[in-house]
Every structure is written in structure tokens, then in C-alpha cells.
Amino acid sequence: MLSSDLTKMEEKQLQLATVAFAIAVICSERKKKRKRQRIWVRPWLHGRGQQGLSVLQRELEIKDRSGFRELLRMTSEDFEYILQKVEPLIWKANTKFRMAISAKDRLSVTLSLLFQGETFKSLGFQYRMGSTTVSQIVISTCEALYEVMKEDYLKTPTSEAAWRAVAADFKDKWQYPNCLGALDGKPISIQPPGHSGSTFRNYKGHFSVVLMAVVDANYKFVYVNVGAQGRLSDGGLFAHSDLHRAMETGRLNLPPPEPLPNTTTVMPYMFVADDAFPLRTDLQKPFPHRQLDHDQRIYNYRLSRARRVVENAFGILANRFRVFITTICLHPDKVVKITLASCLIHNFLREHRSEYVPPTLTDQENDDHEWIPGSWSQGGRGAFHDLPTGHARNPTQRAKDLRDLMKKYFNSPEGQVPWQEHHI
């Protein structure tokens, strides 16, 4: 009897042990399935130095200079100049685990995004990098570009002599004296930021940040402000800008008022803008387009010739920097960095490479001074649409008087141009 009971107990213990072992095996298998094997470097990324777009770039640099320009929208000399400037800030050291991405490849992938408008994932496959890595590289490189080149290529004039040089170009090229630049603002379409509500929603229902800029007579940006909320109008954007504060406090160091050419009429130096901006003693805008008399139409025509440069500059920027053609799926802070870097490189190329802006890209005048629209207006504006017109405050009588004086000058023998009567 006793031996029979022991046999039954042993059988039960054996059964329990077998079940416990089976359960342990099942749990172990489940843990293995849940714990995915982590890959330190994806296998296809190992070929970065032997394959990919960076290899093609090196080959084009040696064998096909025109192909290099088509790839990165600049010459190899321009690329090397920028690389020397920015390399100390973007260089990374190799580690015992992996080779660092070179400063040359970091700059190359950044320029590819700006000029071609590629997505991070697409660039990742082309350069054999992870899309997250590409994103980090682009933003950090844009920051570095702005840091090392802003003083040379994106700095607002700070001296009377520098402002006079800008005004001299406007007088020579566009026959508008005492002009310091053309002012305008355009929205840049962005992906709706999380938890932002309607903050960045513009009047068309799209989400955007706003680029406000002053452009000189040669389509170069002399002042850039980007990042304002898309719901602001041109006038509201200007009122909240640091440019407005600097104008109010006299920190721009503008030249004192000077006589208009061939007259004794003293006129302050001023910016020009469209009718969405306020009329001020230092900011001229056209007469309202209602029941205009002859002299007012002449004034509007002359002002529009000077103001057209800012429209062209935005068009050139969108045409050359295809990143602005579609919605930018990044946080607004990162869009600011990309935009500042783009404006800076635009100025660099505009200053050093005439082929950057071919004649057919910008608006031109024929022998009869009729406007021939540039190709920028046919497809280069991209995300740069007009901002809504705000409700401007009543201008001061002094601002109105100055506009009337300029109107009188443009209609006088001293200030008129021979062809103006045929274009009103």
C-alpha cells in the first residue's frame, strides 16, 4: 500500500515538473519573439563610402563640372568655399564603433534638400544614411551656415554709407531716388504643429510661417524676418517685427534727409511696399486704386517698378530652392533655420555667380519699357502666396505730404522718365 502511494506521488511530481518545463520553454520563446534583434547599422549603410550620391559628387567634381553645377546648383569652387567656412562647426570625429559622416557629405546632403526639395527618407537612400540622421544633419548644418556666413551675406546695413549705396542702386536701376529697399512678406507652408490650434493657420486655411524681407535693387535680401505666425497680415507682421522697432527707435542708422536729384526738395530716405503696409514717413506705398488722377497713376507706376524687385526675389528663392515649393513637414523652429540658410546662400550666389539668375528668370523691360514677366512667375512662387491685407491705421499728415511731394517730383521735368506716360 505504501509503495503504491509513493509511486502515484512520484508520477504527479514528474507530471508537474514536465508542465513547468513546458511553460518555461513557451515563455522563453515568447520573450525571444517580443525582443526584436536590434541592428546597430543597417547592412546597406555600410556602402556609404563606396556607393551613393556622395561618390557621384566626387566623380562629377573631377570629370564633369557642369554636371556638378546641375547637382548642387553651384560650382565646385563655391562648394569648397562654403565648406571651408562651415567645416569647423559640423565636423565629427570617428569612433571605435563607426566612421563619422564627413563634413563634405553633411554639407552636400543639406544643399540637396534646400535646392532639390527632397524628403529626408529620399535623401537617406541616395546618400546611404538613416532618415533621422539626415534630419539632424540638415538642421545642424543650416544653423552652422547662418552662424558663420551671416555677417558677410545676410547682414542689414548699419552705416549711412551702406544705406546710400543701396539707394544709389535703386536710383540707377529703377529710377527711384532715396529708396532703401523693397519690403514684402510671404507665407511658407508648413505641417500643422502639434497643439498649436489656429495659431499658424492663415486666411486660406493653410498652416504657415511668414517670411518678411527687404530686398535691394539687385534681388539680394538686406533684411530677413521669418517665423511669425501665418495668421498675421502684411501690416500686422510689420507692426510686430524688429524692423519696425528699429525704425521707431532710429537704430537703423539711416542717412539724414537729402534733396531729390536736380531739385532742392528735401526728402527722407524710405522703404517702398505695397498697399498692405502702413504709409509712414520712412515707408511709401501706392495710392489706393480708386479714382486715381493722372499724377497718382504716374506715382504708382514708378513705385511699382522699384517694388517689383522684392516679388522677383521671392520668386527666385522659390525657383532655386525647391524646398519651398511644397509643404515643409517640420516644426516651425526648424523651418526658420532652413529659410535663413536659404536666404543666405541665395545672397552668396547672387553676389558671386551671374548664372545663378539668368535673364529669363526675372521680369525684364523691353526697348519700349514694357514688362516681360520672368519665368519665376510661371512656376517659381511655390508656397509664396500673398498675405492678407490688414486694416492699416490712418497715416500722419506728414507721411501724406511726403508722398505728394514724391508724386509731384515724378511728374516734373526733373524727375520724370520719358516712357512713363505710355504705361499708366
Say if residue 297's pLDDT is above 70. Answer: yes
Angle between helices 120-127 and 103-116 (to 10 degrees): 140
> Which range among 89-98, 278-287, 296-305, 409-418 shows the weakest confidence by mean pLDDT?
89-98
DSSP 96: S
Q: What percentage of residues in the chain have a pLDDT greater than 70?
A: 80
> Which range among 83-92, 204-213, 249-258, 374-383 shows the weakest confidence by mean pLDDT?
374-383
CB–CB of 214/226 below 8 Å?
A: no
Q: How confident is the model at residue 135 (pLDDT cuts 50, 70, 90)?
A: very high
Q: Higher confidence at residue 387 or residue 120?
A: 120
Q: Where are the beta strands (DSSP E) in 194-245?
A: 208-215, 221-229
Question: Does this model's pTM top 0.75?
Answer: yes
Q: What is the largest CA-CA distance in the chain?
A: 135
Phi-psi category of residue 291: left, alpha or beta, with phi > 0 → left and psi -120 to 50 → alpha: left
Q: What is the pLDDT of residue 72?
A: 79
- CA 336/CA 90 separation, integer angstroms: 19
Q: What percentage of residues in the chain have a pLDDT greater than 90?
A: 48
Q: What is the pLDDT of residue 38?
A: 53
Compute the C-alpha angle 145/243/194, nearest 5°: 65
- CA 273/CA 277 separation, integer angstroms: 6
Hey, how many other C-beta atoms are within 10 angstroms of the C-beta on 21?
10
- CA 191/CA 130 separation, integer angstroms: 22
Beta bridge partners of 185: 212
